[in-house]
Amino acid sequence: MGRFVDGGFVLEDTLNMYPVGAGLIVIQGSLPCLGDIRLDVGKLLSVVSGEGSNSMVQTIEYSYNASIHTGNIFRYDSPHPDHNKFHHVHRFNVFDNDHIGNVDPCDWPHLGDVIDELQQWYYENYNRLYPTEPL
């Protein structure tokens, strides 16, 4: 996370991590980013081996939801038991009031990959996020 904060795109690391018992750890929070973008993170991890700071963990469930004040940009989700039984991403046209979006299968994303994609989206849409007034 440090490289994203140091690079200036993520404004502050506000993620919380805490054990919930039975070898499970939750990571959650909302990362404020440039462009008034917010990335909501929810992850459930399982301790595979080790303990304390030497633990080896694996993600069991995750959701990464990127949004601005007008709506969602995209959301990555782990498989659901009753629908979308695969790793998938919901993509929205946030500038066109799209609240339904499209769902596509995807590879299992790392949080860093999602932040990289969101940062690229920010620069590609900079002029739409900060429209200039006509003279």
If you count them, how many residues does the chain have? 135
Model confidence pTM above 0.75: yes
68-111 per-position pLDDT tens digit = 999 999 999 999 888 888 999 999 999 999 999 999 999 999 99
12-23 per-position pLDDT tens digit = 999 999 999 899
Residue ranges of alpha helices (H) inside the chain are 2-7, 111-124, 126-129
